[in-house]
Amino acid sequence: MFTLELSNIIFTVVNVLILYFLMRKFLIGPVRSIMEQRQQMIEGSFAEAQRKNDEANELKSQYEAKIVSAEDEAQQIVADAREKANDEYNRRVNSAINYSNRIRTEARERISAEEEQAKKDVLSSVASLAMAAAVKVAGGKNDALTDESIYDDFIREVSAQDGTTSY
């Protein structure tokens, strides 16, 4: 059966204590240091991941700010282009208006000049007819001085009736 002897108990306790100290020294210590190293490595990885996450968030904010800036710049470019197009449109419209006004003015001047020329031609024709009629009425006495005075008198009378100056 089973007997308990003090020497066996002391020997067993001493063996257990020696085993405990040896295990603590060679097994638990290194395992604990490995666990601490692992813990530090994990904490370092978490810190690195947090740092990278913060950097990514900062880059994201910068990119978003650049996108907003680019959108604002694009809107400004479009606004500038519209303004330039509007200025060019107004310039061309004004140029066309000026051109049409210049053409109208030139046409009026030509019409006026042609009217004056037509009046002169009509007056000259009427004067010639009147001269011919006067020669017939006067009975054939016509010299250059008489013709010219009759012509001048007729022009003055016609001009006075039209309100124009004599030619």
pLDDT in tens, 3-12: 778 888 899 9
Rounded-to-integer distance, Cα 42 and Cα 48, Å? 10
Rounded-to-integer distance, Cα 5 and Cα 30, Å? 36
Fill in the DSSP letter of residue 163.
T
pLDDT of residue 148: 73
Q: Using pLDDT thresholds of 50, 70 and 90, give the confidence band for residue 156.
A: confident
Segment 44-56, tens digit of pLDDT? 999 999 999 999 9
Structure tokens at 40: 């530090």
Per DSSP (E only), the strands in 39-149 are: none
Reported as type and span, the H/E element at residue 20 is: helix 6-23
Do 134 and 150 contact (CB within 8 A), yes or no?
A: yes
Segment 90-111, tens digit of pLDDT? 999 999 999 999 999 999 999 9
What are the residue ranges spanned by the domains of the chain?
Answer: 7-162
**Residue that wins the pLDDT comparison between 109 and 147:** 109
